[in-house]
């Protein structure tokens, strides 16, 4: 699909999907971290064995999958964000008129 003259090309579908995935991951991590006082206990239990230390030395215990996500979130988010930024940069370079 080409844009009318003078208008920028819309970003590729894959780029939009990766950007949405990065935004959703960030929103989930941020909301879970913000609301941890309401649902994450401060002592371990069989159902909440995964401890994550937060600012101020507070340790909250999460269920296994949620704890792993909270603890290793940046190792997933930053590569996705890097791919999105690199893809966007390459798309802009390709769309620039050649001299």
* 47 within domain boundaries: yes
User: What is the rounded average pLDDT of the residues 7-15?
Assistant: 78
Structural domains counted in the chain: 1
User: What is the rounded average pLDDT of the residues 23-44?
Assistant: 90
Its pTM stands at 0.73
* 48 within domain boundaries: yes
User: What is the rounded average pLDDT of the residues 3-9?
Assistant: 66
* 78 within domain boundaries: yes
User: What is the rounded average pLDDT of the residues 25-43?
Assistant: 90
* 6 within domain boundaries: no
* 77 within domain boundaries: yes
User: Contact, 54 vs 60, CB < 8 A?
Assistant: yes
* Domain encompassing residue 25: 13-95
pLDDT tens digit string along 40-91?
899 999 988 998 888 888 899 999 889 888 889 889 889 998 998 998 898 8
Q: From CA 97, how far away is CA 99, in angstroms rounded?
A: 6
* 8 within domain boundaries: no
Give residue 5's pLDDT: 64
């Amino acid at each position: 699909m080409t844009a009318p003259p003078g208008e920028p090309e819309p970003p590729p579908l894959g780029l939009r999907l990766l950007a949405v995935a990065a935004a959703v991951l960030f929103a989930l991590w941020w909301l879970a971290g913000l609301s941890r006082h309401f649902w994450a206990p401060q002592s371990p239990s069989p159902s909440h064995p995964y401890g994550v230390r937060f600012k101020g030395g507070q340790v909250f215990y999460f269920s296994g999958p949620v704890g792993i996500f909270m603890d290793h979130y940046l190792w997933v988010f930053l590569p996705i964000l890097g791919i999105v930024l690199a893809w966007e940069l390459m798309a802009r370079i390709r769309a620039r008129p050649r001299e």
